[in-house]
Structure 1
Amino acid sequence: MTATVRFAPSPTGRIHIGNARTALFNWLFAVNNKGRFIQRFDDTDIARSTQEFADSILYDLHWLGIFPDATEYQSRRIDIYDAAVERLKAARVLYACYETPEELDLRRKVRRTRGLPPVYGREALTLTPEQVAEYESDGRRPHWRFLLPNFTSDPLQPERTEVHWNDLVRGEETVDLASLSDPVLVREDGTYLYTLPSVVDDIEMGVTHVIRGDDHVTNTGVQIALLQALGAEPPIFGHHNLLTTVSGEGLSKRTGALSIESLREDGIEPMAVASLAVLVGTSENVTAAHDLNELASHFDPAATSKSAAKFDPDELFVLNRTLMHQMPFEEARDRLIVLGISGDKAEPFWLAVRGNIDRLSDAVAWWRILSDGPQEPAEFSGEDREFLHQAFDLLPEEPWNGTVWKDWTGKIKEATGRKGKPLFMPLRLALTGRTWGPELSDLLPLMGREGTLARRP
């Protein structure tokens, strides 16, 4: 059987780094198992779901290197869910409830005052036909709950009923169905909540492994019961730890915290995002992988901690810097052209500056320095200005080769007696306007003799 996974966000906002972690866990699992990756949009919340958000999620996934084998929309599969509902009703495990939200809240409060867990007491099962008719005549429309199999003969007498599974990430897991309320599967207006479409789709699409955040652990007990009620074998579940901000706050699509879009616009490389999103909170060292295949070789769901992992954006810049320093010109070339960096000098320029940039866009400033000189000419003391006049008088004639910087500074040292920082720093400031940067031995041949003399103070 082909391993089949799915990533199933609601298209109600931009995905963030935590969502990307789930997508990547599924994608890398599919890569390692030669499986299939289904992109499924849980868009039954018609009021908040939009095609624009769905398109943006696909764009973000493609940017990360994830290309689904299939894309599905739950809003286009309502007939399949309707059929499942009829099956559950026929099996007498889906029942109508007429309580209002206010009535349900009051009942929960009463149960708490009695020292009981605030779960639904299945009062709807005791309604008489007359009571149902009265509710209907009052205009109440029912919501529908799934009757959890947590009793022997009387559903009003639930008893401890354990659901077990061997979690890909967490190992042996247990959920007691008696500690849970019967979940609402269908709202009063006939629309579906998350649980039913998700389970039906997993069955219909042949999903073999469900990998998601550990905030779904309890849901898994319910879903296994629902899968069995529909006559299906449950898939293998895995629940990875969640990412939080450095301050410990949860991430949310609504707030846009650490969205993939914002990270991309900030110049972060996709593999910096993917590497940190996957490896943080695991036993693996967090290093920058060159591509997703390399990252897959470091990926092991079981190596993930059970505790939440804090995502520090500063770590992204460390990984991003590493990727920049290692990026070959062939990989950067087309993106440099878009930035206006092209021609015969582009490759030696890139090899000269890549070790001094945090983002690829940082190369633009150095290209301008190379082409036009310092953006803000440095101020020099009278002594340094006299030194620079003498130094530029000693500039070698062309043709130049890779030793021109060494030859030039050798002559300067012999003529002036300066060495070390007092020699090199005034030259660097005159040539680039900065106190740091690429090796001047690499930049000088690119400037040429005429371009170098143009920087003479």
Structure 2
Amino acid sequence: MTTTRFAPSPTGYIHVGNLRTALMNYLIARKAGGTFILRIDDTDPERSKEEYVDAIKQDMEWLGLHWDKVERQSERLDRYAEAADKLREMGRFYEAFETPTELDLKRKKQLNMGKPPVYDRAALNLSDAEKEALRAERGNGVWRFKLDHERIEWNDGILGDISIDAASVSDPVLIRGDGQVLYTIASVVDDTEMGVTDVVRGSDHVTNTATQIQIIKALGGNCPRFAHHSLLTGPQGEALSKRLGTLALRDLREQGVQPMALLSLMARLGSSDPVELRSDMAELIEGFDVNRFGAAPTKFDVQDLFPLTAKHLQSLPLTDVAEAVADAGVPAELAEPFWAMARENITTLADLKGWWELCRDGAEPLIADEDRDFIAEAIALLPEGPFDGETWGKWTSAVKEATGRKGKGLFMPLRKALTGMERGPEMAALLPLLQVIRAKA
């Protein structure tokens, strides 16, 4: 069975970059009728916060990315300890004691010599007595996985055939000196024991994937199918990483972005398929193919979400937005005609409030000097309310007959006088909702 996972760290709010990973894994699982796991990477006790765990779940539920089960890495530390012991017994795990400063000096020396800046494995030559002395002086060391210096190869679902020389990569640190288990081994143990078959993540993980493949094999596990999606940039190609904190999903939600608009964009962005607004999750699932994504950096512009949001809202019946219409202050008996009028003229649901204020309070008339007599004559011909869908047509016909005006010279001044705007909804739909005609004043 196809099994995928999304493994966020609860150290902050998830953003569009995280969503790209989550959505791809979700769609793969759902298209195959498989299992989607939400795995909370909370092995860092200092930075992990329960409030962020809750926020991750809330954001995913808002988007409709429902998981089949939740796993927490903090509850699986014994499994990682067992894996570490197994690697020690195999001679693939060793303790190293260099300080960050010492490692930095080694890297600089190697670069100056034209060599790749990889860890030199000096710790492998330490005697037991030297290790004891270093522990007494510096505390426990870090634990590194000893890579086999061979080529690591796999067929990537997005990048194609990948081949990395393990000798060009430092032996990865899997456990810190303070005992904290790092993602590299925790993820391997989880993926193996949870039967994860497909892993999609950012292209910044390619080297990490190479080392994990060796760890998986050392522990006797089966390697998942890997795919590494491109990283997002800003609309001009600028690095987006520094701005991701301002692109948290809850911030986009606060700005009025609709889930389906966001999902429709992220499910196609960076692929060979055009971005198209989808009406529901089933359409997204049916049309998704991870192999259609490219390796080039992918431009993301938050402004692209708003036309999609507007288009999505236009397709919704009142029942889907009834709460927002009520929150804007619209009386229940006017909700249906109000939504029919406003839906084509909003970008987000927050815009409803402005349209209701116009209906309720009227607008400051926008009347050109040359149109003042015309407007006064037209308003005098306006029948007594209540108005209906035919009032605008009957009224403008009467005004045309009385004044001789027609076309834009007839309709535009009337719109500006009644709404204070040059464009907007169909006046036949708006006029019956106007509670106050301020042009009379």
TM-score, L = length of structure 1: 0.92
Alignment partners' CA distance in 2, 1:367 and 1:397: 21
The yes-or-no answer on 1:368 pairing with 2:352 is: no
Alignment partners' CA distance in 1, 2:268 and 2:159: 16
Contact 2:383/2:395, CA 8 A, preserved across alignment: yes
The yes-or-no answer on 1:445 pairing with 2:429 is: no
Tell me which moved more, 62-71 or 423-432: 423-432
Contact 2:366/2:417, CA 8 A, preserved across alignment: no
Contact 2:234/2:299, CA 8 A, preserved across alignment: yes
Alignment partners' CA distance in 2, 1:108 and 1:139: 21
Residue in structure 2 matching 1:343, options 304, 308, 332: 332
Contact 2:15/2:244, CA 8 A, preserved across alignment: no
The yes-or-no answer on 1:228 pairing with 2:229 is: no
Residue type of the partner of 1:217?
A: V
How far 1:455 sits from its partner (Å)?
4.2
How far 1:107 sits from its partner (Å)?
1.5
Contact 1:12/1:253, CA 8 A, preserved across alignment: no
What is the aligned partner in structure 1 of residue 399 from structure 2?
412
What is the aligned partner in structure 1 of residue 69 from structure 2?
70
What is the aligned partner in structure 1 of residue 147 from structure 2?
148
Residue in structure 1 matching 2:200, options 198, 205, 211: 211
TM-superposition CA deviations, 1:322-377 (whole Å, max 9, x none): 11222222221233223333412111111111111111110111112112211xx1
What is the aligned partner in structure 2 of residue 183 from structure 1?
172
Q: 1:272 to 1:453 in 2, by over 3 A?
A: closer
The yes-or-no answer on 1:286 pairing with 2:270 is: no
Contact 1:31/1:293, CA 8 A, preserved across alignment: no
2:333 partner SS? coil
Contact 1:430/1:456, CA 8 A, preserved across alignment: no
TM-superposition CA deviations, 1:36-82 (whole Å, max 9, x none): 11111111122211111121111111111111111122112111111
2:71 partner SS? strand
Alignment partners' CA distance in 2, 1:398 and 1:295: 47
Q: 1:136 to 1:402 in 2, by over 3 A?
A: closer
How far 1:105 sits from its partner (Å)?
1.4
Residue type of the partner of 1:305?
A: G
Alignment partners' CA distance in 1, 2:243 and 2:51: 15
1:96 partner SS? strand
Residue type of the partner of 1:423?
A: L
Q: 1:137 to 1:254 in 2, by over 3 A?
A: farther
Alignment partners' CA distance in 1, 2:382 and 2:189: 77
2:178 partner SS? coil
Residue type of the partner of 2:52?
A: F
TM-superposition CA deviations, 1:383-436 (whole Å, max 9, x none): 422212211222245675432211110110111011122221221122222221
1:31 partner SS? helix
Q: 1:39 to 1:252 in 2, by over 3 A?
A: farther
2:19 partner SS? helix
Alignment partners' CA distance in 1, 2:131 and 2:243: 39
Residue type of the partner of 1:216?
A: H
Residue type of the partner of 1:323?
A: H
How far 1:252 sits from its partner (Å)?
4.2
Tell me which moved more, 229-238 or 323-332: 323-332
Alignment of 1:15-414 (within 5 A): 15-150=14-149, 161-252=150-241, 256-374=245-363, 377-396=364-383, 401-414=388-401
Q: 1:190 to 1:400 in 2, by over 3 A?
A: closer
Contact 2:381/2:399, CA 8 A, preserved across alignment: yes
How far 1:266 sits from its partner (Å)?
0.8
2:425 partner SS? coil
Residue type of the partner of 2:373?
A: E
Q: Give unmatched runs, 5+ long, in structure 1.
A: 151-160
Residue in structure 1 matching 2:415, options 428, 440, 445: 428
Q: 1:194 to 1:408 in 2, by over 3 A?
A: same
Contact 2:63/2:259, CA 8 A, preserved across alignment: yes
2:37 partner SS? strand
Q: 1:253 to 1:330 in 2, by over 3 A?
A: farther
What is the aligned partner in structure 2 of residue 158 from structure 1?
none
TM-superposition CA deviations, 1:278-333 (whole Å, max 9, x none): 21111111122122221222211011111010101121112112112222222212
Alignment partners' CA distance in 2, 1:332 and 1:76: 41
Alignment partners' CA distance in 1, 2:358 and 2:133: 81
What is the aligned partner in structure 1 of residue 440 from structure 2?
456
How far 1:204 sits from its partner (Å)?
1.7
Q: 1:456 to 1:83 in 2, by over 3 A?
A: same
Contact 2:386/2:432, CA 8 A, preserved across alignment: no
Residue type of the partner of 1:366?
A: W
How far 1:453 sits from its partner (Å)?
5.0
Tell me which moved more, 162-171 or 214-223: 162-171
Alignment partners' CA distance in 2, 1:137 and 1:397: 94
Q: 1:418 to 1:452 in 2, by over 3 A?
A: farther
How far 1:6 sits from its partner (Å)?
0.6
Contact 1:213/1:239, CA 8 A, preserved across alignment: yes
